[in-house]
């Protein structure tokens, strides 16, 4: 999961979890432009201080990108009948709310699996327009293969809540969204309303995960980004985390943990990653440090971010050159391996566990 400066072309993509414009990926952590023509290898070379891309070019095939189903596998031991050695991750009796799960691919789902494998109860928040498809797929068993845990059982999601984290409360919702047919049949999906529903249903949680982002003008260079598009990216991708923690913090038990997903564009120039999204990720990481101080002092809650790498999710189809990015990362990363979603999930499980009881305010690369 670690990456050097040379491997700064890392991306994370997941299914939509927030409202968006056509052609824009709402990532579990980050989004890239869907037009590979806008990314020139000379620019990539210059931005990463790499003199040669020959090792990468040697291993990259320019054939049509093929996407295959990715089965994320949580690796945390959860079988109570097996002897445990070392320092196990034990989250039994803990409850997690994961904002930004809309299918069985992506980091949000992988984190849910790892937390479940460690014994945590799972609640998820799903972007309202994707809610019906997600719940139907769960009910019909389409996710059963990827729900499989190490002990042979299937991950159980106790409850799925409709959520649009762009809106703090009902007063923030414009009329065109209220009357949008994609929102018909759902209610209480603003951040404040979801937090109130979780409190009413379960009383408290121990783990809060922010796995969503959106940039309506992500395909535009920063110089061509409008004020509206720039602010929308920050609202959906960084302030949404502030809002979630603000409203869920009173529900969180002392000693709990909150985790968000960020991206290396917060500190490196990534050609093709526009629309203010790099600024949004930089804000998210800055907010992580401030929130860690405030939430730690007031509620004894730890706040961390995970900066992961490229993942072949379904939403990566919109990126257009996900295979290229993965090969680039493999060629330049220290471990020279393709990142799997369960590795990010297991990192989250560690950060949420008592083993990380003194770790807060950090972005983990």
With a CB cutoff of 8 Å and minimum separation 6, the contacts of 355 are 87, 89
Indicate if 281 belongs to the active site: yes
Rounded Cα gap, residues 220 and 38, in angstroms: 9
Which of 341, 330, 340, 364 has the alpha carbon at shortest distance from 7? 330
User: Known catalytic residue: 34?
Assistant: no
The order of strands in the sheet holding 205-210 is 157-163, 121-127, 95-99, 205-210, 252-262, 302-307, 363-364
Q: Which of 245, 242, 362, 252 is nearest to 300 (CA)?
A: 252
DSSP 277-327: HHHHHHHHHHHHHHHHHHHHHHH--EEEEEE------GGGGGTS-HHHHHH
CA diameter of the chain: 59
What b-and-e string marks burial along 228-239, b requiring 16 or more CB atoms within 10 Å of the CB?
A: ebbebbbbbbbb
What does the alpha-carbon distance between residue 245 and residue 249 come to, in Å, rounded to a whole number?
A: 5
Single out the catalytic residue among 114, 237, 238, 340: 238
- Please name every residue paired with 207 in a beta bridge, in sequence order, or none if there are none: 96, 257
Catalytic residue among 281, 307, 329, 353: 281
Q: Which positions are catalytic? A: 238, 281
């Amino acid at each position: 999961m670690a990456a050097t400066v040379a491997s700064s072309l890392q991306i994370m993509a997941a299914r939509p979890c927030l409202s968006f414009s056509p052609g824009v990926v709402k990532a579990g952590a980050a989004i890239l432009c869907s037009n590979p023509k806008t990314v020139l290898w000379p620019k990539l070379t210059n931005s990463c201080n790499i003199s040669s891309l020959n090792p990468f070019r040697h291993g990259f095939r320019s054939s049509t990108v093929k996407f295959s189903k990715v089965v994320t596998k949580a690796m945390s031991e959860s079988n109570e009948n097996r002897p445990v050695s070392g320092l196990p991750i034990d989250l039994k009796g803990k409850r997690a709310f994961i904002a930004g799960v809309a299918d069985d691919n992506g980091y949000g789902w992988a984190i849910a699996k790892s937390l479940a494998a460690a014994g945590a109860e799972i609640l998820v928040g799903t972007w309202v327009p994707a809610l019906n498809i997600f719940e139907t797929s769960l009910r019909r068993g389409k996710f059963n293969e990827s729900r499989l845990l190490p002990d042979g059982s299937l991950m159980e999601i106790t409850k799925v809540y409709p959520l649009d984290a762009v809106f703090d409360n009902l007063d923030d919702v414009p009329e065109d969204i209220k009357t949008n047919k994609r929102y018909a049949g759902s209610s209480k999906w603003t951040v404040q309303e979801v937090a109130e529903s979780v409190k009413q249903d379960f009383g408290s949680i121990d783990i809060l995960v922010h796995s969503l982002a959106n940039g309506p003008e992500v395909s535009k260079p920063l110089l061509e980004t409008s004020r509206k598009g720039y602010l929308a990216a920050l609202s959906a991708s960084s302030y949404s985390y502030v809002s979630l923690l603000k409203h869920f913090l009173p529900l969180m038990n002392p000693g709990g943990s909150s985790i968000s997903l960020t991206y290396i564009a917060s500190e490196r120039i990534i050609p093709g990653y526009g629309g203010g999204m790099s600024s949004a990720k930089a804000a998210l990481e800055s907010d992580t440090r401030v929130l860690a101080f405030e939430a730690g002092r007031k509620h004894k809650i730890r706040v961390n971010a995970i900066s992961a790498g490229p993942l072949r999710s379904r939403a990566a189809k919109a990126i257009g050159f996900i295979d290229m990015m993965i090969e680039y990362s493999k060629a330049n990363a220290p471990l020279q391996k393709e990142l799997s979603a369960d590795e990010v999930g297991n990192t989250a499980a560690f950060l949420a566990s008592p083993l990380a009881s003194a770790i807060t305010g950090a972005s983990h690369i």
